[in-house]
Amino acid sequence: MSEKLEGIVSPAIDTLLSKVDSKYELVMFASKRARQINDYYSALQDGSLFNYVGPLVDSTVDEKALTIAMREIEQNKLSRTSAE
């Protein structure tokens, strides 16, 4: 079984927590971005892409939006704003 484990273990939670101030902020940041990615995929089906930003990292069709969002946070592809 040489399959690489993915999901909650990748990216590592310790790495993600070093990018934000608290666990709560990480949850809010990642969930907001995951909703944006879901909106992008919905708009893709409707044919209007101009209002949404798609995944900023390489992703596969079967990846969940939250996983993509976590990888974007890990790779510093997103920036936080202080007032949300």
- Given 3-state DSSP classes, what are the helix, strand and coil percentages for the chain, each rounded to the nearest 5? 45, 0, 50
| Residues 26/17, Cβ–Cβ less than 8 Å | yes
- At residue 48, does pLDDT exceed 90? no
pTM for the model: 0.79
| pLDDT tens, residue by residue, 3-45 | 555 555 678 888 999 989 999 999 999 999 999 999 998 888 7
The residue among 18, 23, 59, 21 whose CA lies nearest residue 38 is 59
pLDDT for the residue 23: 93
What is the residue extent of each domain of the chain? 13-74
